[in-house]
Chain A
Amino acid sequence: MAIRRIDVRERVMERNDTMAAEVRARLSASGVPAFNLVSSPGSGKTLLLERTLRDLGGDLRLAVVTGDVQTQNDADRLARWTDDLVQAIVTGGACHLDARQITDALGALDVEALDVLFIENVGNLVCPASWDLGETAKIVVLSVTEGEDKPLKYPKMFEQARYLIINKTDLLPYVPFDMDRARAFALEINPGLGFFTMSALDGTGLDVWYDFLRSRTRRSTLAFAGVET
């Protein structure tokens, strides 16, 4: 037997990260910010996107790449509000989107014409944290029906994110959610986190979110595409 040892030293995520860098460069060159929405299932990502598409779709050209695992439901809901919708190909067991899927999705979109690209990731606070999609920023959506300690339980996701949306504030009278504690836990994990507090259902706080999105488009003087750190 002649055992030959080959030094590899290749990062397992190398291929994904190379593709993510290409996605980021392409979006950046076109001045299109991309927001990767991550959360546990049921936080309200799809409703937030529906509202955003409905309310801003007249002014801004908004595209969505969605990664619903088992059904067409999310895609069907979003398709009512935008023509720029790509459903990422996910099989029954997928737990995250990867950069290859975003590369494929960009091929189906008129990137140069877009104002903002949203990526609705698979509802999962673990796996999507490991996959760079070439986004400008990850945005975690946390609903008030979840525990305030989610940031402590899933630190990697909250570290990776640039913004935290606390959603479903219309339910605050009915659930024991302590907003200050939630913020404190999130800042403990990531002191640079930016916050939005809203109810995508009753519309509270959406104006701030919309101002933020407008400020990030290339039409705005504040525009920035690349990576927000």
Chain B
Amino acid sequence: MHEMSIALEVCRIAEEKVGRAALPDVREIGLVVGRRSGVEPDSLLFCLDALLEGAPFRNARAVLEVMPGDELRVSYLEVDDGDPPD
């Protein structure tokens, strides 16, 4: 359950950064997860996969970088801006 709260917060941060309308265009969410952060990386990934599968997301995936220490942060977002206009 804890990981699900964290995953929801990650989604909220993504929305804050790109705006709700652009959430379907998010392709990747990069996270740093410290081994001592109190979060189980596999469990967090499982929760994020479940959330990113459905609306408002579409085709997004989470990429976790597991590090020493207690850090837990969203490091980057990748957004597909579509084909540039001719």
A interface, CB within 8 angstroms of B: 1-16, 93-96, 98, 126-127, 129-130, 156
Contacts and interface: CB of A to CB of B under 8 A. Distances in A.
B33 to A, nearest CB: 9
Nearest to A93: B1
B74 to A, nearest CB: 5
A33 to B, nearest CB: 25
Contact of A1 (B30, B76, B80): B80
Query: Interface on chain B toward A: helix, strand, loop, or mixed SS?
Result: mixed
A93 B36 CA distance: 24
Contact of A6 (B73, B79, B84): B79
A75 B2 CA distance: 23
Given A12-B9, A96-B2, A4 B79 contact: yes
A10 B31 CA distance: 9
Nearest to B18: A6
A68 to B, nearest CB: 15
Contact of B2 (A5, A8, A14, A95): A95
A212 to B, nearest CB: 28
Interface string B22-53: 00000100110000111100000000000000
